[in-house]
Structure 1
């Protein structure tokens, strides 16, 4: 499993607390530092991804130093001078990278913001770009999405919130791996804070047992077939699929009184329907002759798949 480096902002510990600092150093090979009154802990951990690695490191650190509070990741913002210093190159070289004068390489990462009159970048993104020209520092760090997830878990306690899911999917013709696709999609969603928060905001998708119902489908499935599955549930559910990332939408097969739904063209797919929902979020949709309809409830959710 890969190793990841983390820099956490911590509190409740002093560099003079030799017992706690010694335990973290000896057991985790952590480095504690303090600058301008802000305490940081630099530490490495291994795992299948950065989120899992961070979770293991945080759990172990809390055992070794119970009084220490791990607040968040340090974003490690860098300017042109910082990048030059870390790479051993001149400011002029770095400025050329920033302005895209290395046309043989991918575009330089977008800046994170401005400090005073100077642009700053996330070092994790810059380091990933530098890897393409052999100038990275050799460390793996959380991506932007992983860092957001780690910070969410830190704010909400050591253990992530779990939800109980009831997964509904159909076997796609010629796709015997559909159960595996559904499992991987839902397992990813189950451990993604944004998806968990999305489910918690929509209790109407729970069944009598309190399980959140997720209908998993392919974007190439016929919309009429998926609408029929929605009707079978008799209540709102979450429709989940994968387009450029994971897409989720709370949908009901109920019809609003007096409504005139938009009729989808014959053979319309789930992808077609999602596109129309984006254009007409307040409209209802019908699948044609069988009069199978779907109503989107609440804003959709999209996030990158790992």
Structure 2
């Protein structure tokens, strides 16, 4: 079973001690403060993919800790930090980065290089290690850059939309994806969403459109 390591930036934390106590009572992970940012890292399994695990984790954190989950933390590392986490020398990591060791798949491109110091997202590096140097890195899996972007967008929508509108938006994404799929895969009707649900959705959408048109004409 895959275990995901999920790191979130949260706010507000009026009583850090109370939040820490509640966190360790319900979850496995850590609570930390980093340069004014409050970070929670937790481990979850039992999910088909990382996005599903992150969404579930965010909802559980907000429900049980009474915090607002703002976004996923990228967990940035430089070469020295990679060496520390993998228990290797800095020279060994330098050789790995430049392809002098474990030749094959190129080491991930840095996220940036402020003042010439290259930095990476630890999740990206850890996935590369899983594929190329299995004995190094963390045993848990991290979300990819694209997966974190999906979760961040979902967190913004979840935090700003009314619940009813959020549910409708989720349904629209599901049905839209399935309609695109039918153009290429032509699945049987048993794989399509419930006809009554879709009809109800379309009626509401049509009513809203007609109402808007009548107001505009008036």
Q: Which TM-score band applies after superposition, normalised by the shorter structure?
A: 0.7 to 0.9
Q: Which residue in the other structure is 2:147 paired with? A: 146
SS of 2:43's equivalent?
strand
Relative distance call for 1:70 and 1:208 in structure 2 (3 A) is closer
Structure-2 separation of matches of 1:113 and 1:25: 34
Matches within 5 A, 1:1-306: 1-14=1-14, 16-18=16-18, 20-46=19-45, 47-66=47-66, 68-102=67-101, 104-131=103-130, 132-134=132-134, 135-157=136-158, 161-164=169-172, 165=175, 167=179, 169=182, 178-179=186-187, 210=205
Find the counterpart in structure 1 of residue 215 from structure 2. none
Query: Who is 1:294 aligned against?
Result: none
What whole-Å deviation, never above 9, does each CA across 1:8-63 have from its counterpart, x for those lacking one?
Answer: 11111156432x32222111224211122211111112211111101111111111
1:108-166 Cα deviation digits (max 9, x unpaired): 00110012221111111111111221212111110111100111111111657324337
Q: 1:16 & 1:133 partners in 2: Cα distance?
A: 38
Distance of aligned partners of 1:32 and 1:14 in 2 relative to their CA distance in 1, 3 Å threshold? farther
How far apart are the structure 1 equivalents of 2:88 and 2:54? 31
Instruction: Considering fraction of residues, name the structure with more strand.
Output: 1
RMSD: 2.9
Shift of 1:65: 1.8
Shift of 1:2: 2.1
Counterpart contact for 1:15–1:33, Cα < 8 Å: no
Structure 2 Cα separation of the partners of residues 103 and 88 of structure 1: 17
Which whole-Å CA distance do the structure 2 matches of 1:86 and 1:30 have between them?
Answer: 17
Cα offsets for 1:253-297 (capped at 9, x unmatched): xxxxxxxxxxxxxxxxxxxxxxxxxxxxxxxxxxxxxxxxxxxxx
Q: Which structure's relative contact order is higher, taking Cα pairs within 8 Å and 6+ residues apart?
A: 2
**Structure 1 unaligned runs (5+)?**
187-205, 212-306
- Could you tell me whether the CA contact under 8 Å between 1:73 and 1:147 is conserved in 2? yes
Q: How many residues are treated as equivalent by the alignment?
A: 183
8 Å CA contact retained: 2:31, 2:39: yes
TM-score by length of 1: 0.53
SS at match of 2:32: strand
TM-score (norm 2): 0.73
Asked which structure has the greater CA Rg, the reply is: 1
CA distance change for structure 1 residues 16 and 144 in 2, over 3 Å: closer, same or farther?
closer
Does the CA contact (< 8 Å) of 1:50 and 1:146 recur in 2? yes
| 2:31/2:40 contact within 8 Å kept | yes
Provide the rounded CA distance (Å) in 2 between the counterparts of 1:56 and 1:207: 29
* Greater than 4 Å deviation, 4+ residue runs: 206-209
In 1, Cα distance between equivalents of 2:15 and 2:81: 26
> What SS does structure 1 have at the residue aligned with 2:100?
coil
Q: In 1, distance between residues paired with 2:101 and 2:17? A: 48
Which structure is higher in helix share? 2
